[in-house]
Amino acid sequence: MKDMKRLLLILAISVLLNGCASFGRGITEAILEKQDNEDTRLCEITGNQFTGLKPQLEAPGRKMKVLMLHGVGNHLPGYSTEFLEKLAKELDLPVTTRAYKNIKLVDPKDPGKNLGNLRIHRYLDQFQSQELLFYELTWSEITAKDKEVLAYDNSGEQSFRRAEVNDLLKKFSNDTGPDPIIYLGEKRDDILVAFAQSFCWMISGDWTSLPDDVHKVCSSKNVTPFYNDSYAFVSHSLGSRITIDGLQRLASIYADGETAAYYTAIANVLKNKEIPIYMMSNQLPMLQLGRATPKIANQEAAYCKPDGEKFAERMLLKTNIIAFSDPNDLLSYALPHDFVSKYLDSRLCINVTNININVAKIYDAFGLGKLANPMDAHIGYDTDDRVIALIAKGIANERTAPIVKERCRWIKTID
């Protein structure tokens, strides 16, 4: 009889607990759904207004050329597909070619060395009067060999000892953590040559003149600069450091009088250009640690003003950096003016607009505080509709997208 009563008590408690659990789960789901629907995520732009890619795309007789550079971790050609398709839709470019083109990049000084892949897509408007050439650089195969040192740690010999979630995190760390370290070593030059070769192909011609499925150097023999075209960069995490270092390297090589024709061609194209760099999860401050400052810094007035004594020696007319940072992204930093003046080459004539934006959703953890997934905060930029709209059409101009007008706040800065 006592056993029967005990059994009935256990069954009753079980029913109650299950009921409470279901009830609690229902409340939790309702609260989370309500928070999802409200979507009060931050979007705050501080700096000068910018136009995005659309005006350059609409300019008669001009092509818009964009180079994208990925960040840490292993990437395969095609990694930018979702971003590119969303961007093309926002720019109203519904026409594309049947196939993209691939160029295996080569070091001009060491033709046997593989420097990654450059994939080119072509998008047009319905009248085929507006044209976007999108260049996707995949440089991660340059660092892949070095990362094999950690391959044993991803094997069953080690991984089965970890909890499942911890094992996933460890494998992610082994894939992404080494890249900034490797970049500071001897592979840095290879990655920067890959950047220079990619930009060389960008200025070398139009869609029909670009080769496909080749392993080929971009050199003085195939460079025919298209001076009238517009250029832009899109980068993520370490890709932003590579972009800045690549431009600074081009400036230094040109200033040192190196005679490589394609460096000269690149420099001539850049000198009178205003080029935007859309940086997602910007890491320039962190990746500056332990590095020497540029030889030419704190000289913006001399190089960037038309009446400056060294204006003729500038690398670009203006470099507009639009830096996207999620406050919950543990690896992203805003770019204060003092950092730009002290740590970035004055010949780039850099102007910064900081965009403080939540790309990861924030949830109220039932009185314990608010939380956001830091992983989503680091990788969610290139699929966020507001980020896409800002890159495509900017802020505070007649083309600004409705989602930006409704969801973002612009704080203009003045001297």
**The predicted structure's pLDDT at residue 13:** 44
The pLDDT of residue 256: 56
Position 405 pLDDT exceeds 80: yes
Closest CA to 239 of 123, 379, 384: 379
More confident residue, 386 or 171: 386
The model's pLDDT over 69-82, given as tens digits with 9 standing for 90+, comes to: 999 889 999 999 99
Average pLDDT, the chain: 84
pLDDT in tens, 339-366: 999 999 999 999 999 999 999 988 876 5
Q: Is the dihedral of CA 403, 374, 329, 34 positive or negative?
A: positive
In tens, the pLDDT along 93-151 reads 999 999 999 999 999 888 888 899 999 999 999 999 999 999 999 999 999 888 878 77
**The predicted structure's pLDDT at residue 366:** 56
Residue 263: its pLDDT value, please? Answer: 66
What confidence score (pLDDT) does residue 239 get? 95
* Nearest of 230, 241, 310, 227 to residue 281 by alpha carbon: 241
pLDDT score at 30: 45
pLDDT for residue 150: 77
Long-range contacts of the stretch 220-229 (C-beta < 8 A, 24+): 220/260, 220/261, 220/262, 220/265, 223/261, 223/262, 223/265, 225/265, 225/268, 225/269, 226/63, 226/269, 227/268, 227/269, 227/272, 228/61, 228/62, 229/62, 229/63, 229/64, 229/65, 229/203
Taking the C-alpha atoms of residue 16 and residue 19, their distance in angstroms, rounded to an integer, is 5
pLDDT at 44 over 60: yes
Torsion of CA 395, 399, 402, 404, to 10 degrees: -10
Stated pTM of the model = 0.86
Residue 3, pLDDT > 80, answer no
Pair of tokens at residue 415: 């001297």
Nearest one of 373, 333, 380, 384 to 169, comparing CA atoms: 373
Q: Do you know the residue count of the chain?
A: 415
Phi, psi of 207 (to 5 degrees): -60, -45
* Per-residue pLDDT, 363: 83
* Beta carbons within 10 angstroms of residue 311's beta carbon: 15
Mode of pairing for the β-strands spanning 43-46 and 409-411? parallel
Phi and psi angles of residue 39, each rounded to the nearest 5 degrees, phi first? 45, 75
List, for residues 177-234, the tens digit of each pLDDT value: 788 888 888 899 999 999 999 988 988 878 998 999 999 888 755 445 556 889 999 9
**Bridge partners, residue 124, by sequence:** 95, 131
Q: Given a cut of 80, is residue 4 above it in pLDDT?
A: no
Burial readout 248-278 (b: 16 or more C-beta within 10 A, e: otherwise):
bbbbbbbeeeeebebbbbbbebbbeeebbbb
Output Rg (C-alpha) for the chain, integer angstroms. 25
Give the pLDDT band (50/70/90) at residue 255: low
- Asked if 235 contacts 242 with a C-beta cutoff of 8 angstroms, the reply is yes
Residue from 233, 242, 332 nearest 283 by CA: 332
**What is the reported pLDDT for 181?**
87
pLDDT at 373: 83
Our measurement of the distance from residue 91's CA atom to the centroid of its chain's CA atoms, rounded to an integer in Å, reads: 18
- The arithmetic mean of pLDDT across residues 233-259, rounded, is 80
